[in-house]
Structure 1
């Protein structure tokens, strides 16, 4: 069984990583469906229905539906954050996507008690150059952080790699106050994974750790505000925001990206665990 160490980090066995991989592949299936379904004229409520159907068809449950962090139970199976919405936007039938929008879709699935969690930002039809660059920078910052998990001694190495990538890419804002987390038998566990900070800070990275890494990047100020629904986080200056996330496992022989269809092999190369390479 898993054991908890200092900072209440849950360390998993290789068999438990296998269980998390099954949940991660359900999340990956939802994202693949979202890539096809996100078109002008579709509502975020419709997208939510598609996601829930896929999750339940795999005998899993949506991690987000009914989740409560003090604002009341979350009413959707996905978070569907459009344009200046950063995270946690509630899907609705009257929230209809238009040509040129961008949408961040965050989704979690729990199967046999183990969670998977990942997010993507997608274009709605044809988008402008700035929006496209924002999506690319956010996604590549995510992979910079994941690679750092395979080469750094401490958690701060992940945070610092994300920060350095974004700052090197241009004039983008790194959202503060939100970030990644441990994941396992609960969707949110220790440790909190910042998207900025010194490389040599935080707990040691060890085999058995599972982390959800998730940069959030803006085209303007990093400052945010919360809407009256007590969930939706928006950019304070109205600028566009993007959000990318994967759940990863730190194995004895490398990294396994639990929510990537190929386990992270293409992006990680030799950093990928044999579990990913042999899948």
Structure 2
């Protein structure tokens, strides 16, 4: 069931979204050659704690997962698409890093992700990240009352496919509210004009994921969480929590 949020609820979600934005900013600033992914998770934990916020990631265990997620951010490097578990890996010059983060504040959730490079960036990685961000912008622009979920999916897919990139099959965005994953699902590709009709008060996490090699398949690591490209090519991920309003889409996870 899709829950419509009041203006007051959206304002509370905006507070949670600001915490997410500050956390992602702090993690990105801390990311440097030699820093471990665990170090980045600790940075995120400190920001969340300082804001009096919890993490919807820590301890989360969906049906597919063999163990609860052990961190407050997903840290996915190079060929890891999403759901990477922070560990002792030390960042190297030229790495492409995707960080996904959530916050729970006063019972409301914010969820966002960003991709960036460490050290000297490869031009092809910058192009991949820009495509993910452009797809996110296109998806957000389609998130208006009267449109349908398929219009968001179509806008995202058109950008990703137009750039020649793959889209991991079966993964996309979702509703957000009191919990991290609510109805409706938001695919990253599909026909326009179909699916749930968008109404003011809906809040969605819109999150394109792109695969440089052009394929849509993925492998799951032995940890049961990390998704990787099958061809070893790099991936990027971009996400915002967005409220649908009569005045247009409102990004809740921007600074």
TM-score range, shorter chain: over 0.9
Residue 175 of structure 1 corresponds to: 168
d(CA) in 2 for partners of 1:48, 1:149: 31
Q: 1:116 aligns with which of 103, 110, 117?
A: 110
Whether 2:223 is the aligned partner of 1:223: answer no
Give the equivalent residue in structure 1 for 2:59: 66
Contact 1:142–1:162 under 8 Å retained in 2: yes
Q: Tell me by how many angstroms 1:152 deviates.
A: 5.8
Contact preservation (8 Å) 1:248, 1:258: yes
Contact 1:59 1:111 in 2 (8 A): yes
* More contact order relative to length (CA 8 Å, sep ≥ 6): 2
Residue 71 of structure 2 corresponds to which residue in structure 1? 76
8 Å CA contact retained: 1:175, 1:224: yes
- What CA distance in whole angstroms lies between the structure 1 residues aligned with 2:218 and 2:105? 33
**Pairwise CA distance, 1:58:** 0.5
- Relative to the length of structure 1, the TM-score reads 0.88
> Conserved in 1, the CA contact under 8 Å of 2:143 and 2:248?
no
Contact (CA 8 Å) 1:39, 1:97: kept in 2 or not? yes
* Structure 2 match to 1:127: 121
Residues 81-130 of structure 1 deviation map (CA, whole Å, 9 limit, x = unaligned): 000000101001x2111001000000000011100000000101112111
Alignment equivalent of 2:227, drawn from 229, 233, 239: 233
Structure 2 gaps of 5+ residues are none
Partner residue, 2:47 = 54
Runs of 4+ off more than 4 Å:
none
TM-score (norm 2): 0.97
What is the 5 A alignment of 1:245-264?
245-261=239-255
- Mapped to 1, the partners of 2:37 and 2:204 lie a distance apart of 27
How many residue pairs align between the two structures? Answer: 252
Hey, what's the Cα distance between the residues in 2 that align with 1:197 and 1:28?
29
Say which structure is richer in helix. Answer: 1
User: Does the 8 A contact of 1:152 with 1:158 survive in 2?
Assistant: no
Counterpart in the other structure of 1:270: none
Q: Does 1:19 align with 2:12?
A: yes
Output the CA distance in 1 between the equivalents of 2:89 and 2:120: 19
CA contact (8 A) 1:10 1:209 kept: yes
